[in-house]
Amino acid sequence: MNCLRLPSAREGWTMVLCLAAWLAVTALCIGFRPEHVVLAVLIAALFLANGATRRCIVALIPFFLFGISYDWMNILPNYKVNPVDIQGLYESEKSLFGITLATAERLTPNEFFAIHHAPLMDFFAGFFYLCWVPVPIIFGLWLYFNGQRKSYLHFAIVFLFVNLLGFTFYYIHPAAPPWYVASHGFDFIEGTPGEVAGLGRFDAMTGLGIFDGLYARNSNVFAALPSLHSAYMLIAFIYSLRAKCPAWMRVTCAVICFGIWFTAVYSSHHYIIDVLAGISVTLIGFVLFEYVIMKIPAFSRFIDRYADYIS
């Protein structure tokens, strides 16, 4: 494929219509933020620049759709669809995984770590949680630029598919995170802003305020179950085993994966139940995609054409 070739009229109009639809829905239902316009201009520029950048933009579509779908959850918060599970999830966590103190008081693991924490653990917790989206995307780009385009595409689409499964469950069963119970008890308070919880110790230690900025824009506080934080690096680890990856990359994915699982509980952002649900959603999404959906001839042919285009 000629890297200098301009997009066809069909490709160009498809790109323009998709960007226009995204911006229109966002403007009408959520409201513009500066990054929306910047991202739209960047996508259009790279799509039009040359064949190499155009193929890269098309390859990144699953990640764009992930970001858009996450942002669009602001259109209809899940707590307006179904009642929020606050006390039931808390009591289940305490019953299944509670820690009994010498005083006979029983705490959830989150409550235990809120009392028993250390600066070194706080630092590594913040480090691991900063990896939850960037590292899987970097892993995907490594596959792409390493020439493993089909492996990349499978990874990217499963990443999107697992997110959509998780988002769907958020609406079926809205659930409050542990920090919500610690701050607000068992009463439902509509419009509750996000909190950094235990990750605030990392912000205080480093003076960066990263998590404070991230959680101020949380699309939905009541989206703790399943923990998609626990899913992303697991997807990367699974595909590091399936693709041609060096051993150090597989080990790195595994270490970060376990680090995020621990941090999710340690920082009071998720219960162990949430983490196990995130792992389950990942495995279900992977099996459904690779062993059910990919067996559909029309979809398999679509993936082959998609892989050929980005190659």
- pLDDT category, 271, cuts 50, 70, 90? very high
Mean pLDDT for 292-296 is: 96
Query: Which one-letter amino acid corresponds to residue 176?
Result: A
Question: Tokens representing 213?
Answer: 């900025």
Supply the pLDDT for residue 1. 43
Q: Which residue has the higher pLDDT, 169 or 132?
A: 169
Confidence of residue 9 (pLDDT cuts 50, 70, 90): confident
Mean local confidence (pLDDT), 82-105: 95
Average pLDDT over residues 221-237: 95
Residue ranges of E strands in the chain: 99-100, 106-107
Type of residue found at 116? H
The pLDDT of residue 48 is 87
Q: What is the mean pLDDT of residues 279-289?
A: 98
What pLDDT is stored for residue 2 in this prediction? 47
- Per-residue model confidence as pLDDT tens digits over 99-138: 999 888 999 999 999 999 999 999 999 999 999 889 999 9
Region 200-225 average pLDDT: 83
- Rounded to whole angstroms, how far apart are CA atoms 162 and 164? 5
Cα–Cα nearest to 52, from 6, 114, 100? 6
Cα of 44 vs its chain's centroid, Å: 25
pLDDT for position 219: 59
Q: 282, 227 in Cβ contact below 8 A? A: no
Residue 213 pLDDT:
75
